[in-house]
Structure 1
């Protein structure tokens, strides 16, 4: 729970009080996933959001040909879940699985809403996280529709440096919306420039 406490503390100028954190942590449950184990499968409703204590995960769709398209990657100190399914209780169009053995803290939507009412500090943290998430999603969308492959990879390296050693090239390529061969070419060109 220390990882969650430290994470939440980073969102408020004066941090979160011990008593507020005791309230917050009482709403979470602990879960372990083995590598390749599903957190969520397409067609199921996302009943929990998870805070990753250790491990790595990926969110993806699969087309009719069986090709996977990575939508999001997650590591420690990231929240994982399908926000649309979680919020609307609708079936998810995504799969989320553990890329590595993973430990999470889980919370239901009902518990988040209750915590927001009970704990003003948590409500403020959620508001700030939502703002940052919205900004990050807009940046990623803008990059994916307007930037070339080289720029997308350069932005990825700056924005997500901790992902480089955790996910293989084909996963990173899919996340960037490019082929593995294109990513290999870009990396080779960058090495030649050094």
Structure 2
């Protein structure tokens, strides 16, 4: 798994050296997750910044009525956390769960801050990730308030084709803010127009 992490950082950091990688590896913890294992639990402090080396995670909250609301699917070569909980040491509003057997590298706040201090180019890297995430959130918000169910569905399968085939339909519906019945109807209608 460490080769996956090394290859990732070689692509995203200029002048990446074995010394820098060894320090990153030293400050991380490799965690193997079973399907349905929760790595951050709603109500607890989410004290990990997570890099997914293998597998698929989901970030979701559970409302008082027991309904799940999926915020994000996180596949290989992606990062996740509950930023509010991670940076402010407050109870998490999210669960982060493995949807399949997964292997992650996890960093606590102190170690991640030390990495950013010792490897300054990580700050630009983190800024780039935050900018990308912000753009994804804005796109999703606009999609949710201004798009039809058909447009939401088509955007999801075009944006995340590798994830679509790995998650159950009811979770896709939850992510899109649709009922399972609405999503099934949308899929049937789209298939009719294709045939």
TM-score scaled to structure 1, two decimals? 0.93
CA distance in 2, matches of 1:37, 1:82: 17
Partner of 2:19: 19
Structure 1 residues 152-191: Cα deviation after superposition (integer angstroms, max 9, x where no partner) = 1111111111111110100011001001111111111121
Question: What is the total number of aligned residue pairs between the two structures?
Answer: 193
Structure 1 residues 114-150: Cα deviation after superposition (integer angstroms, max 9, x where no partner) = 1111102222211211111111111111111111111
- Deviation of 1:16 (Å): 2.5
CA distance in 2, matches of 1:169, 1:16: 41
Partner of 2:65: 65
Are the equivalent residues in 2 in contact too, given 1:46–1:85 (CA < 8 A)?
yes
Are the equivalent residues in 2 in contact too, given 1:16–1:121 (CA < 8 A)?
no
Structure 1 residues 78-102: Cα deviation after superposition (integer angstroms, max 9, x where no partner) = 2122111001000011112111111
Partner of 2:106: 106
TM-score scaled to structure 2, two decimals? 0.93
Are the equivalent residues in 2 in contact too, given 1:115–1:123 (CA < 8 A)?
no
DSSP 3-state at the match of 2:167:
coil
The answer to whether 1:122 aligns with 2:122 is: yes
Partner of 1:178: 178
Gaps of 5+ in 2: none
Q: Where do 4+ consecutive residues of structure 1 move more than 4 Å?
A: none
DSSP 3-state at the match of 1:171:
helix
The answer to whether 1:10 aligns with 2:8 is: no
CA distance in 1, matches of 2:128, 2:60: 26
